[in-house]
Amino acid sequence: MNFKLLFLWLLYFVQGLPHGLQSSLLPIYLRSSGLSLTRISLTKALYFPWILKVLWAPLVDQVGTKKRWLMGSTSGLALVCLASSALSPDSHFPMVIMVLLAMNFLASVQDIAVDSVAVQLLQRQEEVGYGNMVQVVGYKMGSVLAGGGLLAVMDIVGWSAIFQVLSCMYCAVVLYIVRTPFLNKYQMNPHDEKRCPIGGLNPWKVWKELMTVPGTLWTVIYVLIYKLGEQGAVTMFPLFLLDHYMSARELGIWNGMVAMGFSVCGSSVAGILLARHSMGYLMRSAFMLRMCSMAFQTVLLLLYSQASLMKGAAILSLCVQHFLGGLITTLTFTAMMNCTQKAEESIQATHYSFLAALEVMGKLTFSALAGWVVDWLGFPVSFLIFLLLSAAATLHVCKATEGGQLKHQTS
């Protein structure tokens, strides 16, 4: 199992690099340049390849091999990073945006292939829990390196050198994929009728097949709403602190690195707890704790001043919020994988990509609107709305737990 976990960690690690560039560096960079919160929120459109990936997931499922898809997408990421090293965000900002969009597309293709391998690799419930822990932890560590780390050292080493290093990292991962023997098992057999696309590439027929998988409807609703309130708070609270005399460098360290470290810890703890407790109990407890954390952060925002005690409390709230967010994310991806494993093998990559795309869409939609809501209503009222949205997601989870609807996720 250790070799499986190492493989998954490495592939999800490199998938997290583009996310870190966008989620941690761009908002601080753009806010420091004087852009409004509404315009900053619109950069979330760069995530659209992750929402649309379900459109090309059937191709990854049915054409070629998973190993070739992994090699091709990772090699493409290396070339895109190399091209980006020749650009400057100050003088070539539109081109930088296009590069980040291309990175997201290639990373989404890579994600489909590695998710398909993971669904087949992780069979026992213990493996599923630890595998999803590694998935979330690896992704977040890549995000921390490319986001918080980049923001902290960009003034020292420069934009070009950082992207050259990223390109070398992707090249190293390509070599690792080439030398990974168990990937040779995931070959497409053209004589295997079960490999034929269900419903061809007709979106409506594919949709109907995906929705017939047991537990899919509950999971669809859950992944769309589970991050609504939290995503608004996590996105806007660092910008609130930037507006209230915390420097970009401090935010790069505390929010981009330290708080994300707590997020990684939360994801790791979730993997351990899944081996000992039921999914329903863990989800109910985690969501209730998140409600308390968001209430604390909302009160803190209402009373915030420049006092050192307040600054320390703000940093603490960031760390707690990221810890609980990491824990809930691992639980969520475990529930998604349990649901996908009930699908036929020929549509597993498409099914998981469908759920993952909806998960991103739920977070992205609200993230794109959060800045507009804050510009319109102000921070205090907006955070009260975030708290109410989080309460709605908590109610959905608690009702499912009490009614036994989560049994299909843990059986």
Q: Which two tokens stand for residue 247?
A: 């420097």
pLDDT exceeds 50 at position 346: yes
In-domain check, residue 192: no
In-domain check, residue 235: yes
In-domain check, residue 193: no
pLDDT exceeds 70 at position 54: yes
Q: Which residues contact 209 (CB under 8 A, 6 or more apart)?
A: 198, 199, 347
| CB neighbours of residue 176 within 10 Å | 16
CA within 13 Å, CB half, 31: 27
From CA 344, how far away is CA 198, in angstroms rounded? 10
| CB neighbours of residue 214 within 10 Å | 13
140-170: pLDDT as tens digits = 788 777 766 666 666 676 667 878 888 888 9
In-domain check, residue 388: yes
Higher pLDDT, 235 or 1: 235
pLDDT exceeds 60 at position 190: no
Whole-number Cα distances in Å, 102 to 37, 66, 75, 196: 24, 20, 13, 29
From CA 235, how far away is CA 371, in angstroms rounded? 9
pLDDT of residue 33: 62
* Angle between helix 125-144 and 259-274 (nearest 10): 170
147, 21, 40, 34: which is closest to 84 by C-alpha?
Answer: 21
SS3 string of 348-394?
HHHHHHHHHHHHHHHHHHHHHHHHHHHHHHCHHHHHHHHHHHHHHHH
CATH number of the domain bearing residue 208: 1.20.1250.20
Specify the residue for token string 């900053």: 40
Average pLDDT over residues 56-66: 77
Percent residues over pLDDT 90 in the chain? 3
Angle CA 13–408–183, to nearest 5: 35
pLDDT exceeds 50 at position 408: no
Total of domains in the chain: 1
Average pLDDT over residues 313-332: 88
pLDDT of residue 289: 93
For the residues of 262-329, what is the DSSP string, one character each?
HHHHHHHHHHHHHTTS-HHHHHHHHHHHHHHHHHHHHHHHHH--S-HHHHHHHHHHHHHHHHHHHHHH
In-domain check, residue 163: yes
245-261: pLDDT as tens digits = 777 777 777 876 788 78
pLDDT exceeds 90 at position 270: no
Lowest mean pLDDT among 9-13, 43-47, 75-79, 382-386: 43-47
What torsion, rounded to 10 degrees, do the Cα atoms 389, 226, 219, 105 define? 120
In-domain check, residue 210: yes
Domain of 250, in residue numbers = 2-186+200-410
For the residues of 91-147, what is the DSSP string, one character each?
T-HHHHHHHHHHHHHHHHHHHHHHHHHHHHH--SHHHHHHHHHHHHHHHHHHHHIII
pLDDT exceeds 70 at position 188: no
In-domain check, residue 191: no
In-domain check, residue 363: yes
